[in-house]
């Protein structure tokens, strides 16, 4: 018997379960690219929470963006359903998909749901090291039957024409994160903004609706903008500086030079994928990262004051 992809008739439908979060959604796009190249005839649907659907909008590797409800996946009538999320909800969405082939990693919960258990990425890739999230997700496509290839950069498509899309040369700064352990200090980001302003780049601070950006009000602030507008802003930016979080992966997908400040997370797993990048860390965690370290990283990227 051939691979699962070889067993799918032309025009078959495939459902990819990728409910959240922002960085994971962005890092799923290389896997979709590989799947599309392997079988251009397939109809690919991605099930994702509505707040993250903009990550997949206008991507030619995606034929349909499905809601995060089990009935929409079942109504898509996939022959193959691939769970790349791994949580309880995504497992039951896979179980109820009606797909002949139900694929998920062997370490996922409820393994009995799957009739195609994907080995760990290290086994598929033949490596004995920590693998990046993009590699982990892409390895599933290799196991399903896609030809081995270099895993491409993440892919975001920017077709916005709003105010953010037409901004002048700027540097996007994301000074917030999901928790304090991943958030660098305010005075550090203010010093970075002054440095960039003096170097001729307009600093633009971005954050979600529940993020407090008032300490940065002396600069341009974009708060609670839709993801489509953040894509537009990043598409026009010359540089990204921020904490280890979803927008850093968006910036990397556009090929921006990035400076990412890490706390306890492992950059080998979550670092910027396939772009010019500087990772800034310090023994003891985020609180010990010095302003000079970040400014030095900018200098190495040839962004001068």
The domain spans of the chain are: 4-144, 170-300
Q: Which helix (H) or strand (E) holds 29?
A: helix 22-38
Name the CATH superfamily for 4-144. Answer: Glycogen Phosphorylase B; (3.40.50.2000)
Strand locations in 92-218 (E): 101-105, 116-118, 170-174, 202-207
pLDDT digits (tens, 9 = 90+) for 7-25: 999 999 999 999 999 999 9
Name the CATH architecture for the domain at 170-300. 3-Layer(aba) Sandwich (3.40)
pLDDT at 162: 52
Please state, in angstroms and rounded to a whole number, the distance separating the CA atoms of residues 297 and 260.
9
Token couple for 258: 């990035």
Residue 228: per-residue pLDDT = 95
CB 23 within 8 A of CB 251: no
Query: What CA–CA distances, in Å, run from 157 to 8, 42, 204, 271?
Result: 28, 20, 21, 21
pLDDT, tens digit (0-9, with 9 covering 90-100), for 206-215: 999 999 999 9
Q: Please report the pLDDT score of residue 305 as a whole number.
A: 47
**What's the DSSP call for residue 181?**
G
Matching fold, domains 4-144 and 170-300: yes
Q: For the chain, what's the residue count? A: 305
Low-confidence stretches of the chain (pLDDT beneath 70) = 1, 160-168, 303-305
């Amino acid at each position: 018997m051939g691979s699962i992809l070889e067993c799918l008739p032309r025009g078959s439908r495939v459902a990819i379960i990728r409910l959240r979060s922002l960085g994971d959604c962005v890092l799923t796009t290389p896997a979709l690219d590989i799947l599309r190249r392997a079988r251009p005839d397939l109809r690919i649907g991605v099930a994702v929470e509505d707040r993250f659907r903009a990550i997949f909008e206008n991507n030619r590797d995606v034929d349909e963006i499905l809601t995060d409800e089990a009935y929409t996946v079942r109504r898509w009538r996939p022959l193959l359903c691939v769970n790349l999320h791994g949580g309880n909800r995504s497992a039951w969405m896979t179980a109820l998909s009606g797909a002949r082939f139900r694929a998920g990693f062997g370490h996922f919960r409820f393994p009995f749901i799957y009739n195609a258990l994907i080995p760990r990425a290290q086994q598929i890739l033949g490596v004995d090291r920590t693998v990046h999230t993009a590699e982990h997700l892409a390895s599933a496509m290799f196991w399903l039957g896609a030809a081995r290839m270099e895993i491409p950069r993440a892919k975001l498509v920017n077709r916005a024409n709003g105010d953010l899309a037409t901004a002048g040369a700027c540097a996007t700064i994301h000074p917030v994160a999901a928790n304090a352990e991943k958030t660098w200090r305010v005075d550090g980001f203010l010093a970075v903004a002054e440095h960039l302003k003096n170097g001729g780049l307009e600093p633009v601070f971005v954050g979600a609706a529940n993020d407090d950006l008032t300490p940065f009000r002396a600069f341009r602030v974009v708060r609670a903008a839709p993801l489509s507008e953040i894509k537009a802003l990043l598409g026009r930016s010359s540089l990204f500086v921020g904490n280890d979080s979803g927008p850093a992966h968006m910036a990397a997908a556009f090929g921006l030079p990035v400076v990412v400040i890490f706390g306890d997370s492992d950059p080998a797993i979550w670092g910027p994928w396939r772009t010019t990048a500087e990772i800034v860390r310090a023994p003891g965690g985020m609180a010990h990262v010095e302003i000079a370290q970040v400014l030095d990283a900018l200098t190495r990227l040839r962004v001068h004051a």
